[in-house]
Amino acid sequence: MPKFEECLQRLEKIVQELEKGDVPLERSLTLFEEGMQLSSSCRKELEQAEGKVEILLKKNGKFQAEPFDPSAEKVPARK
């Protein structure tokens, strides 16, 4: 099973190819189907990661599940 980052990179390529608009219908359908499978795989990985984060939070003394909120992060992006 491909890693999360690989799935995202492939999804980006599929979207770019479909956005060109000059892809034959048969190829578009194949790409769309592959994209949906990759999207589903990414979603499952994210849900598993979220579950692990909740378990870690509970182990650290917080007994209430806290969903990860990337907008709450105060760390500036490194360049």
Domains of the chain: 4-72 (1.10.287)
* Pairwise CA distance, residues 43 & 32, whole Å: 16
Q: What is the pLDDT of residues 67-77, one digit of tens each?
A: 666 565 554 55
Q: What is the pLDDT of residues 21-48, one digit of tens each?
A: 888 999 999 999 999 999 999 999 888 8
Query: Nearest-CA neighbor of 49 among 27, 28, 67, 34?
Result: 67
**pTM for the structure as a whole:** 0.60
